[in-house]
Amino acid sequence: MHAPRKRLGQHFLHDPGVIRRIVAAVDPRPEDRLLEIGPGLGAITLPLLEAAGRLDAVEIDRDLAAALEERTRGRGELRLHVGDALRFDLEGLPGGEPIRVVGNLPYNISTPLLFRLLAAHRRIRDLHLMLQREVVERMQAGPGGREYGRLSVMTQLRCRVEPLFTIGRGAFRPPPKVESAFVRLVPLRTPPVAVADEARFAKLVTHVFSRRRKTLRNALRGLLEETEIRALGLDPGLRPERLSLAEFARLSAAWQPPPAEK
């Protein structure tokens, strides 16, 4: 019996109804190229593997990986990568076909992992992820509220966000402290706003949201003059959380990141 490692965010799904809903939402097909992040004891891995016949998975815990190889033997082609998903080169997977990412993510690293996955959006067909409920709320939040931030802007620039259902703590062993939600993200082939330099856009969004209590005038002091902000049709007295994606795009085209952030 595996003793769950808290440090690795190990909360294993054991509710068959929830597992069935997740697999039905993914709807795996034999031609799919699936990548699971954090397969753990294999609650989702086994049904995915049975439906698709093959699957790549990244698991950091060597003991779990060894047990999973044992359990899946003869049940399909599992290519298990033992290592850190934060360092995994998704774009280096062989074959050029778009990848379907699935994961009941370790919540302690979900934000950096999401930014990494978003950066690889061109190689991804879709993502089905279990996350802390608040994270899904932040992903879909629009301008004006407390939940709207860097994660909302960067996710919405690259993906359509479809929250699917919420899951109570009891579906996991051990139960996590927070509620969970299952979400589908579909990378957009055409972003909702045109962004000429995505890296610069990402830096601007990080810069202003790390100063989210400041007005644009103060958050961009030394980088953009008040008159330049006005010339973009923006009120320098606004807080960053009020800006739409299109307004971030206009600002990012006009600014240069400070040397430390380049």
Cβ nearer to ligand SAM, comparing 24 with 86: 86
Closest to ligand SAM by CB, 43 or 52: 43
Please report how the helices 150-158 and 245-254 are oriented relative to each other, as an axis angle in degrees rounded to 10: 100
Minimum Å gap between C-beta 33 and ligand SAM is: 18
- The nearer residue to ligand SAM, 43 or 243, going by C-beta atoms, is 43
| Contacts to ligand SAM by CB under 6 A | 8-13, 37-41, 43-44, 58-61, 64, 84-86, 104, 106, 109
Residue nearest ligand SAM, Cβ-based: 38
- Cβ at position 20, least distance to ligand SAM in Å: 13
Smallest distance from the beta carbon of 219 to ligand SAM, in angstroms? 32
Give the nearer residue to ligand SAM in terms of CB position, either 50 or 228.
Answer: 50
Q: Of the two residues 40 and 240, which places its CB atom closer to ligand SAM in the complex?
A: 40
Closest CB 242 distance from ligand SAM, rounded Å: 35
The distance of closest approach from Cβ of residue 150 to ligand SAM in the complex, given in angstroms and rounded to an integer, is: 21
